[in-house]
Amino acid sequence: MKFLWSLFLSLPITVFAQTTFPGIDISLGSPAYGINFKTNFGQSGGWARGYNISNQDGTERLVAFGAFGRMDNGVSKINFAYIGRDYNDTFMTFLPNGYVGVGTVSPKEMLSVNGNIRAHQIKVETTNWPDYVFNDEYQLPSLAETEKFIKANKHLPEIPKADEVESKGVDLGEMNKILLKKIEELTLYMIDKDKRIQALEETVKGLKK
């Protein structure tokens, strides 16, 4: 056995430079991708190909990578590639447009996760942070205007409605901007009210004298 292994290691690498099997091309030169799995299917219908790692007797599939697709007039098209146990039991899926899904085969964004995410830190990049609320030219809505809007719409201005959040989700970066803006506006309201209270207290003191 040691002799055979030594002989294998001593073989020149060019022996494996270009090898073709039924449905498989292996190349260390050109093309650059190294291994090509050909997809020779029929004229119509769906197809799936997976390359699996199983337990020692082949009774349990541990992990697989592959693809699932269809045939259009004899031309194979891909629906998604996957990592999982099978095309219908996936851990991650990859759409032709670059979208990646975890726990879902139909991601709606560059990354869609059907489940919980745990992280030590999440950083969201955004622009137009609402410090402009403190600029002198900013027109702070009156509380009467805000009350009128709430009575008509049952939510704060700029805050999405509940059914919209349930159907479309929330953009965390945009929502943080909106919430900060509301906090800053609330702070300005409180400062104004505090000034008014102090002025009334001074008036009361003068009346008492």
d(CA 179, CA 126): 14
Q: For the segment 50-76, what is each residue's pLDDT rounded down to a tens digit?
A: 888 888 888 888 899 988 888 887 788
Q: How far apart are CA 66 and CA 93, in angstroms?
A: 10
120, 88, 118: which is closest to 105 by C-alpha?
88
Q: Are 97 and 109 in contact (CB under 8 A)?
A: no
CA distance 71 to 44: 5
pLDDT digits (tens, 9 = 90+) for 99-122: 999 999 999 999 999 999 999 998
Q: What is the pLDDT along the chain (209 residues), one digit of tens a residue?
A: 444 445 444 444 444 456 666 667 776 565 566 777 766 666 677 888 888 888 888 888 889 998 888 888 778 888 999 999 888 888 999 999 999 999 999 999 999 999 999 999 988 888 999 999 999 999 999 999 999 999 999 999 999 999 999 988 889 899 999 999 999 999 999 999 999 999 999 999 888 87
Rg, C-alpha atoms of the chain: 32
Q: Side-chain half-sphere of 133: how many Cα atoms within 13 Å?
A: 18
Amino acid at 129: W
